[in-house]
Amino acid sequence: MAVRAVRGAVQLERDESGHMEEQVGALLTAVLERNDLHADDLISIWFTATPDLHCDFPAAAARKLGIVDVPLICAQELDVTGAMPRVVRVLAHIESDRPRAGITHVYLGAAAALRKDIAQ
C-alpha cells in the first residue's frame, strides 16, 4: 500500500465555531467519500486557516467526526495580500492503493477557485 496525499479547502461564510465545525466536517467527509477512504486509512492531517479565522481549531471538527486516533495539526496560512478570506485548507496523508492520478482533491464552494485545475 502506498502513502498518498490528498488536498482540499473550504471557504467559511463567517468566523463562528459551529459554522467551522459544519464546513470542515463537510470537507473531511467529502475527502473520505470521494477517495473511498475510512479513518483507518488516514496517517495524519494538516489543517491551515487564514489569519482572519479565530473561532476554533479546524482539527476539532475532525475529532467530532470520530477521527480520534490520527495525528492532527493546525497552522496559520500565510497572510498574502488579496488572498481569499476565511479559508480552511487540509492536507491529509493516507494509505491507498490508488495511483497518484487517482486521488480526488476536494475544493468546496467558493474555494474551488483556489485550484481550478484539480477542483471537483
The residues that are catalytic are 7, 63, 74, 77, 89, 107, 115
Of 68, 51, 58, the C-alpha closest to 91 is: 58
Annotate 17-50 with three-state secondary structure.
Answer: HHHHHHHHHHHHHHHHHHCCCCHHHEEEEEEEEC
72 vs 81: CA distance, rounded Å: 28
Closest CA to 8 of 54, 66, 61, 56: 61
Cα dihedral sign for 96, 35, 114, 10?
negative
